[in-house]
Every structure is written in C-alpha cells, then in structure tokens.
Amino acid sequence: MACIEARGLRKAYKTTTALDGVDLKVEEGRILGLIGPNGAGKSTALNAILGLTPFEGELRVLGRDPWTERDKLMADVCFIADVAVLPRWMKVSQALNYVEGVHPRFDRAKAEGFLAKTSIKRASKVRELSKGMLTQLHLALVMAIDAKLLVLDEPTLGLDLIYRKQFYDTLLNDYFDRSRTIVVTTHQVEEIQDILTDLMFIDRGKIVLDTSMEALDARFTEAMVAPEQLIAARGLGPIHERQVFGRTVLLFDGVDRARLAPLGEVRTPSIADLFVAMIGGQAKGAAA
C-alpha cells in the first residue's frame, strides 16, 4: 500500500491556485524530497497531507482521508514545522510529560536517551533554548513516537552547519528503519541529496519532476565542455547550460553518457543544478 497517494489534488485560495491537479504516489519506506520555489505549493501540499486544510480531488494518507479522518491519522503521523510550536514558558521536562500524556505511542525512555546526547537540561524552559537546541528537542520528541510517516517542513531553517548535519545524521541513524516514510521540504537541497530515495519538483502548483534517485542518476547528465566542443555538444539537445570558469556546463536529459564522454568531463548533476535548469527564473534564489 502506498503511504501517500493523490489524484487531481487541487487547492485554490480565491484567485490563487496553490495546487493544480497534482498526482503523486509515495511508497512506504521511502524518503521523499519535495522541492520548489517559494509559493510553489509545497506548504499547501503538506497541509493537505496532514489534514490541516480541505482540498478537491482524491488524497489518501496511510489509507485514510486526512481531512475527514485526521484524528485517527495523527496517531501514525509526526510533523516538524519550520517554526517553533512549543509554548515558550514550558520546561523541557513538562514537554516530555505532555507528549507522554497525549500520545499513546510515545516512548519516554527513548526520548530521554536522545536528549542525553545533547546539552539540553530538563529544567530549562523553551524560551531559554537556542534554535539548534529547540530543533533537537523537537526531534527527540518526534523520534520517540512510533509513527509511520514523518513530515518535515524546512526542519533545519536558521540552523548552523553543525546542527544541520547532526539533524540529518540523527534522522538516518536513529529513526529511519526502511519501514517508516519521510517527506521533507527544504531550500538547502545539497544537504539532503545523499539521504533521499525519491525526488519531486513542484512549481506553480504542478509536479514538474517525479523520480527515484536511481532513475535520476540514469536519466540526467552534465558535461563540462571546452569551447571547441560546444557546437557538437549543443547538437545533442541540452536542456540547460551555464558557465563555470570559462567552460560551458550543459545538462542533458536521456542522452547516453558514451556520446557525451568525448566532449568533456561527464558527471551526475546536483539536485540544485537540476532544479535551476528545470524551473529557472525565480527558482535560482531558492536553490541557492
């Protein structure tokens, strides 16, 4: 059974169409990166998946309609947003007590074990924690819940490099077990490239790329060519080109690497470069 499946998913706000007939399918045990520029529809899609907004079309999450069956669905879903959601007056120990009291699948001992690896004190109040510590607290609470789906919306926004690396290392080593499903949105795409199993680009409410990472590696190729090879390379139909240190880097979709190898240095493009090539324009700032 697919963890998330949508057909013709649509959401409009007055004159703005946030989701425009989206079809998607996320199998269980996958890590999906949902990438798009600001205003592309990412947050609306997550809100629909989490049962936070009504929608048109068909959407099933873990076999349930998230809008009409949200109370049951939330027993199997966890969410980390890009903004703090814990009351600032609450102590860390009170946060543990609260989640233990309201969630039947919360493992207090596991949460304590995660927090023991940090410098967070149980007597500290939320307002006394740095943004990095607050993210660590959120992650400890969420990872201690035996959920089937974890949704992350810009989870490392505003964190320094060390905290961002620790976040994803912890996620992979202590949480992901190939039976849970993770959906993550972020503008820091380089940092999630190596953990994803699947990738979706969304732009103006439509899915413009939906692929596994294995298929992406086989489908897209970059070639850095010297000026004398540029005409021949362009003859193979690149979908994008850019300049790097006086040489031209061309991106190809579905062209055999053996045909590109004589023209220059061949490599697999990064998610960021592919994103700029496929969406371009205002997306350049988001991908950076």
Q: What is the pLDDT of residues 191-225, one digit of tens each?
A: 898 899 999 999 999 999 999 999 999 999 999 99
Write the pLDDT tens digit of every residue in 51-62.
999 999 999 999
Mean pLDDT of 241-253: 91
Considering the domain architecture, whether residues 109 and 240 belong to the same structural domain is answered as no
User: Among candidates 189, 247, 253, 207, which has minimal Cα distance to 6?
Assistant: 207
Considering the domain architecture, whether residues 23 and 40 belong to the same structural domain is answered as yes
Considering the domain architecture, whether residues 76 and 25 belong to the same structural domain is answered as yes
Considering the domain architecture, whether residues 164 and 177 belong to the same structural domain is answered as yes
Report the C-alpha gap between 180 and 147 in whole angstroms: 7
Domain boundary among 192, 212, 232: 212
Residue 143: is its pLDDT beyond 50? yes
Domain boundary among 212, 229, 263: 212
Number of domains in the chain: 2
> Residues 6 or more apart from 29 whose CB is under 8 A from it?
178, 179, 180, 181
Residue 281: is its pLDDT beyond 80? no
Considering the domain architecture, whether residues 88 and 203 belong to the same structural domain is answered as yes
The CATH number of the domain where 274 resides is what?
Answer: 3.30.70
- Mean pLDDT, the chain, integer: 90
Considering the domain architecture, whether residues 246 and 161 belong to the same structural domain is answered as no
Considering the domain architecture, whether residues 95 and 141 belong to the same structural domain is answered as yes
Residue 17 has a pLDDT of 92
pTM of the model: 0.88
The radius of gyration of the chain from alpha carbons, rounded to an integer in Å, stands at 21
Considering the domain architecture, whether residues 156 and 252 belong to the same structural domain is answered as no
First-to-last C-alpha distance (Å) of the chain: 36
Considering the domain architecture, whether residues 187 and 164 belong to the same structural domain is answered as yes
Considering the domain architecture, whether residues 202 and 266 belong to the same structural domain is answered as no
Considering the domain architecture, whether residues 54 and 169 belong to the same structural domain is answered as yes
**What residues make up the domain containing 256?**
215-287
Report the C-alpha gap between 138 and 141 in whole angstroms: 5
